Amino acid sequence: MDSCLMIWSMRSQMRAYRFVGHKDAVMCVQFSPSGHLVASGSRDKTVRLWVPNVKGESTVFKAHTATVRSVQFSSDGQSLVTASDDKTVKVWTVHRQKFLFSLSQHINWVRCAKFSPDGRLIASASDDKTIKLWDKTSRECIHSFCEHGGFVNHVDFHPSGTCIAAAGTDNTVKVWDVRMNRLLQHYQVHSAVVNCISFHPSGNYLITASNDSTLKILDLLEGRLLYTLHGHQGPATCVAFSRIGDFFASGGSDEQVMVWKTNFDAADYGDVLKTQKYATNVTGTLHNLQSEMDCGDPPKKNKTQESARNQHQQEEETSLADTLEHIVGQLDVLTQTVSILEQRLTLTEDKLKECLENQQKLMHSKGN
């Protein structure tokens, strides 16, 4: 909202780059696949292409006539797709830095637009309550998904390119098959608007960010909620997995960027999530808010060679143990969250006490 772009180094003790150029709030940002460029979209109606170095030089792209809500590179880094409040989706060439064409069948603001992994399709999400699927070559809308009950804030392609997921103001997350154009999964796990989603590179997990201040990790293979993560004070506005899935980052209206560490293993889907959270505030100070939050390691099911009855009994016991471990893990996360809030409350009380003391000193000096 301060119209600046911040590039953070993941290495400790390294300074962040602050890029100035946009004339209004920056709504979206993304690295190119190579990492040599950064694209951003703004309320000032422009898209900027930055070189992420000390100089922070940028090129301005102008074609939209309203706020640019979303920007994304194609997987080959050759193209850029943007979505805007002018109700259009626009495609640009990166190297020639030129506007190519518009897609304009939405009848309200377009919140998000994404390329499919192979670059042949574009999915767009709009306040007209639809997700549209476009053929990049023919520039035609090939399907509209209309199942959302509210504005659609975000859409993303599954790494396989066969599915899309979308999140909206009706508090839901939905997953569709783009080959059959049918709804596959419907999650109602948040108590407020869902702002953003991101697929894990393995394709087995989906993470969501919501106005209810939580992040949630969904297990797509089993079709269930896996973890609820607390950390932001106020709406969690965005979330994204890193390119290989070892980290994910979240941003919130509390002016914090949090980087979380995962130990997902694509080969062993049953692996448990461990998170290590850091919060980076807007002044660039890195606070290690807490040590590793271990969400519990569910015991693996023992394969017994005994009778079917004993096997069934053991499976029931293991299932119960899994459930208990999950509950314990969630309680651990809540305990850690309460601890953080207590620390923040203590800091606030100390600050208030200091202010009152200074005020009394000031009153005393005026009296004299």
Question: Could you tell me the residue ranges of all domains in the chain?
Answer: 4-269
CA-based nearest residue to 337, from 286, 307, 295: 295
- DSSP code, position 161: S
The mean pLDDT of the chain is: 82
Helix (H, G, I), strand (E, B) or coil at 10: coil
Reported as a single tens digit per residue, the pLDDT across 231-278 is 999 999 999 999 889 999 999 999 999 999 886 654 443 444 343 344
Report pLDDT for 102: 92
* Top-confidence residue, 271 or 332: 332
Query: How many CB atoms are located within 10 Å of the residue 275 CB?
Result: 24
Q: Whole-model pTM? A: 0.71
Helix (H, G, I), strand (E, B) or coil at 357: helix
Reported as a single tens digit per residue, the pLDDT across 104-137 is 989 899 999 999 999 999 999 999 999 999 999 9
DSSP letter string, 226-290: EEEEE--SS-EEEEEE-TTSSEEEEEETTS-EEEEE----SS-TTPPPEE-EEEE-TT--EE---
Report pLDDT for 368: 67
Q: What number does CATH give the domain 4-269?
A: 2.130.10.10
Q: Which of 39-48, 236-245, 340-349 has the lowest mean pLDDT?
A: 340-349
27: pLDDT strictly greater than 80: yes
Reported as a single tens digit per residue, the pLDDT across 157-186 is 999 999 999 999 999 999 999 999 999 999
Report pLDDT for 311: 65
**Proportion of the chain in helix, strand, coil states, percent, rounded to 5:** 15, 40, 45
Report pLDDT for 351: 78
Residue 283 token pair: 């002044």
The whole-angstrom separation of Cα 312 and Cα 314 is 5
72: pLDDT strictly greater than 90: yes
Task: Assess contact for 143 and 164: CB atoms under 8 A.
Answer: no
Report pLDDT for 312: 61
Report pLDDT for 349: 76
Q: What percent of the chain has pLDDT over 70?
A: 81
